[in-house]
Structure 1
Amino acid sequence: MHLNYDCNLKCSYCYQNVIAEKVVMNDKTEKDVINFIRKIVLDKNPEYIYLNFIGGEPTLHTDKMIRIMAACNKLNKSFYFSAVSNGTFGNIKKIEELLHLGLNDYFITLDGAQKDHDKYRVYESGMGSFSTIIRNLKRIQEKFPEIKIKLNSNLNDDNKNHVTELLDVLEEKEIKYPLVFSKVISTANGKFDKTIEDNDSFWYIAHKQAIHRGYKFKPYGREINLACMMKQTNCYIIGADGFLFSCIEAVGMNEFRQAHINDYGSAMFEIIRSQAQNIGYAYDTCASCTFLPNCDGGCYYKRSHDDFKCPKTDFKNNGLMIIKEIFEVKS
């Protein structure tokens, strides 16, 4: 659920840079979202509902988060709340209030040690955000041990060889949260000039360095196509304007916009939603490829702006090697 497209940071590679109008969910759409969730609960009777808040920076609008969570909790279903945040939010009182409502899971980005992180993740003034994030992580770790945080490091051509420096900082600061890596990808409005080529073995090397420092990873844990939301009928990507989108990287783009949440239950809603299920593979050879379950025929978002390359070599050089490393360490 995108509460907003505005953010207090100006990250150079952010996929939401394609969104010109930084919409914030208004009060009417907020009520529509709550009603949409209520309809899904009544219609599908799910055992478990995972609700992730994202932006922009969702913690700029904690009052909206609080109202939505409070309404969800009244539905007497098992909700699991989480938030993707840049980590600059440090209001202890609000964090405690969110925790009381069930938000105990955050995904926070650190793009390396300070010299790397502060190149890309800066405030509008140009000041880096690293020191603020480290301070907030320390405070949350101390005051709220029940809050689960997963640290995310976006790797690019500049910082890919500095993973050990990030690991050193986390050890020095005694920050003990799990770590995952992500790949910076080009967006529809242009190629990020530090994007790493797919055949580079950086993905394996980064994981190997972290594994040997005690970090644990699931095999293919960050291969997003193993759980691509475009292919999941029970997954809904909600924009700040109340429209659904088929791809989280393409929120705000008309090509990926689906129906409005108020249309839920109509025949047109189901027809529009089903179109994403019928997207074909990138190549004729995909159907017989050993790695089809990992790639699902190629990322449609990348294909839409001619940025897709077959990841088979990348899987061999990185994914399989990571699995081997995991099992060698375990044995």
Structure 2
Amino acid sequence: MKLSRYLKTFPSPDRPGHVLLYSTMRGSVAAISAETLAALQAGDVPAEGCEALARLGMLVEDPDAEKEQMRGLIARANAETRDFKVSVVLNLDCNLDCGYCFEGEFRCGHYMSEATADLLVETLVQKRMAQGWDVTVSFYGGEPLLSLDLILRISQRLHAAAQSHGVRYAFTLVTNGTLLDRNTALQLIPLGLQGAKFTLDGPQEIHDVQRPYASGAGSFDVVARNLAQVCNLISIQLGANFKRENYREFPRLLDQLPLYGITPDKLAVMMFTPVVSTGGCSDFNSGCAMSEEPWLLEAVPFLREATLARGYRAPTLKPSACVVELDSTLVIDCTGKFYKCPAFMGWEELSVGSLTEGLRDFRVSNGIGNWQIDACLECSYLPLCFGGCRLVTKLQGKPLSEVDCRRKFYDATLEQTVLQNLTYLAPRKKVAAQTAPAQAAVPSY
């Protein structure tokens, strides 16, 4: 057996003469002696620990076969899934006036019509539910709750259709949080509401500047109180969009949340996301549009550490690809046009069809499979990026056939992330208890 190519090695922080192995494919960690690592690199596999390392994806029979398996990973995932995830943009209107909103250039107050909503339901029922697919809708905007009537209209029909076809319908909201109070949540839960993404941009004085109402009034207190009302009813993701000049103040948000009763057990995840110029930093963003600017290489680990240290959950590292690669995801805007990424709205050349014409072939226009080159397939970071973010490539003026290489970013941050996981997410006694030189220390988390 040989070492996997999708493996990183870091010095053990508390065991001299030992190293940590981290599988970027499995998210698993093992502690072994430096002597054992040298033997493995030379092709000398010790009798002890081999089985454990193989189970954690760190030793493989054939690295070339592993490389080919990686080439087909997304295709296999696409073939196996039966859950269609669609982001539905109900309007291009909002009751807030966030200065960085990437939709600002084409926001026109447009709302999805009832006719388009009905065609959306018909399409999802005929093309997905009737074919045995579960359907999960993420209602998006603008502010989707300004279209509460359409959420009810769409969800009532999809909920009934799902029951008729023996499949599941669920929906989430990507909302600024000003309109999702307890009564609204209780109205929507019976129709399939499972979760919501709220946004609080740092401590109150920063949030109220970055995300004021259109009138100029601050919105922090309203959002925080609504979040406190619904966090026991549905799963909550809380996002916060930071900038270079203010990210060091953002941990104070985590100290303010408990004052509203929003303790770590009330949130599914806390996501700090950088504001990306001219696009990409929206309420929908989960951090995929990430640059390699020096300040970000410091800010991202800093905020993740602050999150975990206070007991909140941060996004975990796992194999992930740009959403355009996933056949089971789609964005439908308020006019019925199709896109593969919410940030692509407004770029006509990146539209991939519509409710009336159906889905067009987007393999070339969206750079599908741009990572299937030797430079990527042989990179230990491939499972974490699969070519990176198409938006970043677009904003750099490059064709989407080129990859958004994340090597510099992960070179600078991955070791810190792994050590944070060991400190906060995995019992440290599992690492200290290792005695055999090649035993696995910590399973994937």
TM-score > 0.5 by shorter chain: yes
**Number of residue pairs matched by the alignment:** 316
- C-alpha distance in structure 1 between counterparts of 2:174 and 2:110, whole Å: 18
| Pair 130,42 (structure 1): closer, same or farther in 2 beyond 3 Å | closer
TM-score of the pair, normalised by structure 2: 0.65
Partner amino acid, structure 2, of 1:114: Q
Partner of 1:7: 94
Q: Give the Å deviation of 1:35.
A: 0.9
Return the match for 1:67 from 153, 156, 170: 153
Partner of 2:125: 38
**Structure 2 alignment gaps of length 5 or more:** 1-87, 282-289, 399-403, 429-445
| Pair 241,320 (structure 1): closer, same or farther in 2 beyond 3 Å | farther
Asked if residue 56 in structure 1 is aligned to residue 139 in structure 2, the reply is no
Q: Percent identity?
A: 26
Asked if residue 215 in structure 1 is aligned to residue 312 in structure 2, the reply is yes
Return the match for 1:276 from 366, 371, 374: 366
Q: Give the Å deviation of 1:205.
A: 1.0
**Structure 1 alignment gaps of length 5 or more:** none
Partner of 2:272: 181
| Preserved contact between residue 198 and residue 311 of structure 1 (Cα < 8 Å) | no
Q: Give the Å deviation of 1:273.
A: 6.4
User: What does residue range 157-306 of structure 1 map to in structure 2 within 5 Å?
Assistant: 157-176=244-263, 177-178=266-267, 179-187=270-278, 198-199=293-294, 200-220=297-317, 226-264=320-358, 269-272=359-362, 275-276=365-366, 278=368, 280-281=370-371, 285-306=375-396
Partner of 2:42: none
| Preserved contact between residue 90 and residue 139 of structure 2 (Cα < 8 Å) | yes
Partner of 2:419: 324
- C-alpha distance in structure 1 between counterparts of 2:362 and 2:292, whole Å: 34
With 3-12 and 309-318 compared, the bigger mean Cα shift is at 309-318
| Pair 27,165 (structure 1): closer, same or farther in 2 beyond 3 Å | same
Q: Give the Å deviation of 1:118.
A: 1.3
| Pair 216,20 (structure 1): closer, same or farther in 2 beyond 3 Å | closer
| Preserved contact between residue 259 and residue 272 of structure 1 (Cα < 8 Å) | no
Q: Secondary structure at the match of 2:306?
A: helix
Larger Cα-atom Rg: 2
After TM superposition, what 4+ stretches of structure 1 lie above 4 angstroms from structure 2?
Answer: 272-275, 281-284
**C-alpha RMSD of matched pairs (Å):** 2.7
| Pair 198,40 (structure 1): closer, same or farther in 2 beyond 3 Å | farther
User: What does residue range 89-108 of structure 1 map to in structure 2 within 5 Å?
Assistant: 89-108=179-198
- C-alpha distance in structure 2 between counterparts of 1:128 and 1:284, whole Å: 51
| Preserved contact between residue 154 and residue 184 of structure 1 (Cα < 8 Å) | yes
| Preserved contact between residue 196 and residue 235 of structure 2 (Cα < 8 Å) | yes
- C-alpha distance in structure 2 between counterparts of 1:245 and 1:78, whole Å: 24
More helix as a share of residues: 1
| Preserved contact between residue 88 and residue 132 of structure 1 (Cα < 8 Å) | yes
With 75-84 and 286-295 compared, the bigger mean Cα shift is at 286-295
| Pair 135,218 (structure 1): closer, same or farther in 2 beyond 3 Å | closer
- C-alpha distance in structure 2 between counterparts of 1:196 and 1:162, whole Å: 21
Partner of 1:26: 113
| Preserved contact between residue 62 and residue 94 of structure 1 (Cα < 8 Å) | no
| Preserved contact between residue 177 and residue 226 of structure 2 (Cα < 8 Å) | yes
TM-score of the pair, normalised by structure 1: 0.86
| Preserved contact between residue 247 and residue 256 of structure 1 (Cα < 8 Å) | no
| Preserved contact between residue 182 and residue 226 of structure 2 (Cα < 8 Å) | no
| Preserved contact between residue 186 and residue 307 of structure 1 (Cα < 8 Å) | no
| Pair 189,155 (structure 1): closer, same or farther in 2 beyond 3 Å | closer
- C-alpha distance in structure 1 between counterparts of 2:260 and 2:219, whole Å: 16
Partner of 1:156: 243
Partner amino acid, structure 2, of 1:84: V
Q: Secondary structure at the match of 2:190?
A: helix
Q: Secondary structure at the match of 2:320?
A: helix
Write out per-residue CA displacement over residues 18-51 of structure 1, whole angstroms, 9 at most, x where no aligned residue.
32433210111111111111122256412x3221
- C-alpha distance in structure 2 between counterparts of 1:248 and 1:220, whole Å: 22
| Preserved contact between residue 219 and residue 322 of structure 1 (Cα < 8 Å) | no
- C-alpha distance in structure 2 between counterparts of 1:173 and 1:209, whole Å: 19
